[in-house]
């Protein structure tokens, strides 16, 4: 059965973005440090069309993130652009002309917009809630899994609704001291977790869990 899977990098003190996030600085103060373990990896560089890079214990973990994924769901901030209506010539987001997804992406927003077709990836804008977005993504995934892109608020909404099946948290040795806390607002029906595996990387540890609604 098609699963909703989610992978994210978190500081040891629980943040997935630093303080003072803004449209210009979506990762907040110090937030870019979260991802320093990822950038040198061959598995990451390939995905962005770059050559070379390192192979490490994190390599099979990162490769697995993208295996058997047929569609993605993400929040509007992760697509790109701030809140509010899209305007007449809406921005096409952070991801450039050839986004790395190469499958349909469902963007949660309060403001309707026609689908945006870029090379290899079409963004669909969903205004009727997280369950509708997941349903459309599963339909589009054709039996494959759906990746939940983030950010923290979107992950929290899906976790609180008991809709996440699997997640991998990459914990980095870093204190951000503030910003977007990943595991917040989980509500009363906190999901139950089962540890699947832990992988020690270089400057990161990957913790994988199965999630069950409470």
Which residues contribute to the site for a second copy (CB under 8 A)?
A: 12-14, 169, 171-177, 183-184, 186, 188, 190-191, 193-195, 197-200, 203-205, 207, 209
Choose between 47 and 199: whose C-beta lies nearer to a second copy: 199
CB of 119 to a second copy, least distance (A): 38
Contact 67, 51 (CB under 8 A): no
Instruction: State the DSSP H helix or E strand holding residue 72, giving kind and residue range, or none if neither.
Output: strand 69-75
CB of 1 to a second copy, least distance (A): 22
Choose between 48 and 197: whose C-beta lies nearer to a second copy: 197
Q: What distances in angstroms separate CA 206 from CA 93, 105, 158, one per listed residue?
A: 28, 25, 21
Choose between 144 and 210: whose C-beta lies nearer to a second copy: 210
CB of 182 to a second copy, least distance (A): 8
Choose between 69 and 159: whose C-beta lies nearer to a second copy: 159
As a residue count, the chain comes to 214
Which residues have C-beta within 8 Å of that of residue 124, sequence separation ≥ 6? Answer: 104, 105, 106, 107, 115, 136
Beta-strand relationship, 121-126 and 180-181: unpaired
Q: Pick from 81, 75, 47, 44: which is nearest to 59 by CA? A: 44
CB of 34 to a second copy, least distance (A): 13
Choose between 147 and 204: whose C-beta lies nearer to a second copy: 204
CB of 61 to a second copy, least distance (A): 12
């Amino acid at each position: 059965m098609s699963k909703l899977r989610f992978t994210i990098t978190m500081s040891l003190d629980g943040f997935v973005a630093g303080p003072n996030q803004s449209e210009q600085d979506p990762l907040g103060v110090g937030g870019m440090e979260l991802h320093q373990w990822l950038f040198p990896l061959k598995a990451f560089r390939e995905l962005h069309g770059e050559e070379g890079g390192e192979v490490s214990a994190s390599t099979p973990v990162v490769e697995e993130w993208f295996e058997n994924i047929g569609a993605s769901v993400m929040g509007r901030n992760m697509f790109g652009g701030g809140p509010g209506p899209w305007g007449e010539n809406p921005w096409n987001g952070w991801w450039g002309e050839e986004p790395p997804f190469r499958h349909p992406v469902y963007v949660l927003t309060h403001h309707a917009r026609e689908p945006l077709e870029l090379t290899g990836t079409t963004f669909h804008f969903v205004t009727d809630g997280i369950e509708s977005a997941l349903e459309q993504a599963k339909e589009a995934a054709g039996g494959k899994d759906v990746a939940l892109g983030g950010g923290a608020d979107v992950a929290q909404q899906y976790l609180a609704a008991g809709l996440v099946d699997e997640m991998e948290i990459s914990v980095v040795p870093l204190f951000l001291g503030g910003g977007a806390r990943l595991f917040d607002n989980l509500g009363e029906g906190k999901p139950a977790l089962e540890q699947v595996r832990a992988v020690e990387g270089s400057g990161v540890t990957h913790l994988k869990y199965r999630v069950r609604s409470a």
